Amino acid sequence: MALQSPILSFLRLSSHSRSPILQFRPFLTRNHHRRHLQTSSTSPPIPDYAFAFDIDGVLVRSSDPLPRAHKALSYLQSQNIPFILLTNGGGKHESERVEELSKKLKVPLDTSMFVQSHTPFEELDEYKDKTILVVGGDEDKCRRVAERYGFKSVITPGDILTAHPSIWPFSQQFLPYYASFSRPLPRPILPNDPTNSLQISAVFIYNDPRDWGLDIQVLKDLLLSRAGIFGTLSSKNNNPELPNRGFQRDGQPPLFFSNPDLLWAAAYHLPRLGQGGFREALEGVWAAITGGPRMGVELEKTVIGKPFQATFEFAERKLLTHRADLVREQELGRAEQKVGRLKRVYMVGDNPASDIRGGNTFKSPRGMEWVSVLVGTGVHVPGSEPEWAPRAEVGDVWDAVRWAVGEEKMKM
């Protein structure tokens, strides 16, 4: 379901969707680009092409910078060639992650050139005054990201387990861990008093879940509930007269996943399961409970992140705003230098299913060309046939930059 046309499926899953319409806001401009913009009269003009770099498997492996990542990014900054970082990762606020990456890669970076999997959630204003459930990430870091996005009432599965340990019998040994960061619930779970019981208006999976058992149990309870009220069961469930056999037809909270990646490149030599693995596990449990596709039941959800159109649209807007700042800075320095519009973006990634598919299938609303470049330092095994064919396959990120700049030189 999530694999259909991205913008509408970004929020709308089917004709009777319950998802909101997303009104894109202009990004705030920032004025500290001088740090990495060459403005002297001899510095190169900002060209009509730019880059979007994936992070895991391209710039870093787990937390270690890849050998030529610094060289690639600092070269681009020396040539005033704009770039953004576009990752399906997350779990920390953009400002924190940018700070870390900047130090690791020894390249000045800032949030105006940075898109994480959950960054677009910041625009979902309609849930900011409602109680939402945020799943995934270390401890309750993702809750704090959501709060910095402006969500006022954010709970985690850990809060629920700490308040009601019987909700999932198999994480009792983790209670001390959860107690270290959980918070009291805004309302208790009161099966006999649903009007005063805890109610969830939306569920967001911000990052790779750590405790799949607890998280799947809590999501199952919500998806079968009446109107997202914990401890209740919807009477519409399993009604063959209703669409989707009545499942998710009783005001249950919409489900937002930020990252579809089944596999990603971490420290281990073989790819590891990602948020997509968790979603597949949930879908499996949901199908076992509801009868699944063979009974005409699906798990209605919204999945964003690469390769989906809406995430690339979000990233393209971010890149354009960032580039416009650089252009303004440069023109301040050299009024005579007029900079043309951006025509081409090189999407450099290690994962054919997200980076390359996204770069190949993205339809830029501004008619910009996106060119996919696959590196061999992450998920993709060099020499194997990638699921989605890139425009170019290279060794690592520095090879990707050299190849693209070479292509551009040939166009001159």
What is the contact surface with ligand G3P in residues (CB under 6 A)? 54-57, 87-89, 208, 259, 261, 264, 274, 351
CA 409/CA 152 separation, integer angstroms: 50
329 in contact with Mg ion (CB under 5 A):
no
The residue behind tokens 């959950």 is: 118
Distance from CA of residue 277 to its chain's centroid?
Answer: 15
CB 286 within 8 A of CB 292: yes
CB 359 within 8 A of CB 349: yes
> Is the Cβ of residue 225 or residue 309 nearer to ligand G3P in the bound state?
309
Q: Indicate the residue type of 78.
A: S
| Greatest Cα pair distance in the chain | 74
Interacting residue with Mg ion among 47, 57, 157, 209 (CB under 5 A): 57
> Is the Cβ of residue 54 or residue 329 nearer to Mg ion in the bound state?
54
Give the Cα-Cα-Cα angle 266, 271, 272 (nearest 5 degrees): 75
Distance from CA of residue 338 to its chain's centroid?
Answer: 35
CB of 397 to ligand G3P, least distance (A): 12
- The SS3 of residue 146 is helix
Burial pattern 372-400, b for ≥16 Cβ within 10 A else e, equals bbbbbbbbbeeeeebebebbbbbebbbbb
Q: Indicate the residue type of 407.
A: E
- The interface mask with Mg ion, positions 251-270, x = CB under 5 A, is --------------------
* Candidate ranges 47-55, 98-106, 221-229, 298-306; the one touching Mg ion (CB under 5 A): 47-55
CB of 265 to ligand G3P, least distance (A): 7
Q: At what angle do helices 212-223 and 275-290 cross, to 10 degrees?
A: 50
CB of 132 to ligand G3P, least distance (A): 21
CA 83/CA 399 separation, integer angstroms: 16
56 in contact with Mg ion (CB under 5 A):
yes
CB of 265 to Mg ion, least distance (A): 6
Cα distances from 300 to residues 7, 142, 295, 347, in angstroms, run 16, 23, 14, 30
Residue 394 sits at φ, ψ, to 5 deg, of: -135, 180
CB of 88 to ligand G3P, least distance (A): 3
CB of 11 to ligand G3P, least distance (A): 21
Element (H, E) at 257: strand 255-257
Residue 229 sits at φ, ψ, to 5 deg, of: -90, 115
Interacting residue with Mg ion among 140, 215, 325, 350 (CB under 5 A): 350
> Is the Cβ of residue 234 or residue 259 nearer to ligand G3P in the bound state?
259
> Is the Cβ of residue 110 or residue 261 nearer to ligand G3P in the bound state?
261
CB of 375 to ligand G3P, least distance (A): 11
Structure tokens belonging to residue 178:
């959860």
Give the DSSP per-residue string, 303-339: E-STTSHHHHHHHHHHHHHHHHHHHHHHHHH-TT---
Interacting residue with Mg ion among 12, 54, 61, 390 (CB under 5 A): 54
208 in contact with Mg ion (CB under 5 A):
no
> Is the Cβ of residue 134 or residue 339 nearer to ligand G3P in the bound state?
134
> Is the Cβ of residue 87 or residue 252 nearer to ligand G3P in the bound state?
87
CA 242/CA 233 separation, integer angstroms: 16
CB of 69 to ligand G3P, least distance (A): 12
**Binding site partner of 89, from ligand G3P, Mg ion, none, Cβ cut-off 5-8 A by kind:** ligand G3P
- The SS3 of residue 140 is coil
The residue behind tokens 């990456």 is: 101
**Binding site partner of 259, from ligand G3P, Mg ion, none, Cβ cut-off 5-8 A by kind:** ligand G3P
396 in contact with Mg ion (CB under 5 A):
no
* Candidate ranges 15-23, 53-61, 99-107, 226-234; the one touching Mg ion (CB under 5 A): 53-61
> Is the Cβ of residue 185 or residue 263 nearer to Mg ion in the bound state?
263
- The SS3 of residue 362 is coil
CB of 286 to Mg ion, least distance (A): 28
- The SS3 of residue 308 is coil
**Binding site partner of 88, from Mg ion, ligand G3P, none, Cβ cut-off 5-8 A by kind:** ligand G3P
The residue number whose beta carbon is nearest to Mg ion equals: 57
Binding site for Mg ion (CB under 5 A): 54, 56-57, 350-351
